[in-house]
Amino acid sequence: MLAGATVFTVNFFFVKDEESERLAHAFYQRLSTFSAGEKLLENVFGNGLGSHECWVLNDESVEAILTETDGNLFTYNVLYKPEDWLIYAGDQIVLQVVSHEQEVTLRLSEIQYSEFTKLGIPHKQGQPQWSGLPERPIPTAFGN
């Protein structure tokens, strides 16, 4: 698990009064045991903090996430699967998965990045095309 990660958010898009609405409600019901309520968390597009429903990130919720995504955060099936996962350390996004674009943004300190490179996971530095997430949190958004 990411060092310091405490909560996550996720989207499940649906069409009102159709099967996808039932699927979305059932999904969020399964997550309900991990509810952390509404918190002020970083918004994706660098425009400060916003109130977001979120869930506690722990070993049990990670297992639930893996179950919901069939073991793949890139699973994309709009109206049938959750997507666009955000993981937070405190109120800052440390991991963003843009499911439909198959992109991940991972914000790491230099020390964390040094450890990450040892894993041999193919990656490139810089911002993915579809992220919308600033490379670093905007300090004024967090009272710094």
pLDDT at 46 over 80: no
Taking all residues of the chain, what is their mean pLDDT, rounded to a whole number? 88
Residues 118 and 89: beta-carbon distance below 8 Å:
no
Average pLDDT over residues 64-84: 92
Domain that holds residue 91: 5-142
pTM value is: 0.86
pLDDT at 140 over 60: no
Residues whose CB is less than 8 angstroms from the CB of residue 97 and which lie 6 or more positions away in sequence, other chains included: 73, 74, 83, 84, 85, 86, 103, 104
Q: What is the pLDDT of residue 142?
A: 47
How many folded domains does the chain comprise?
1
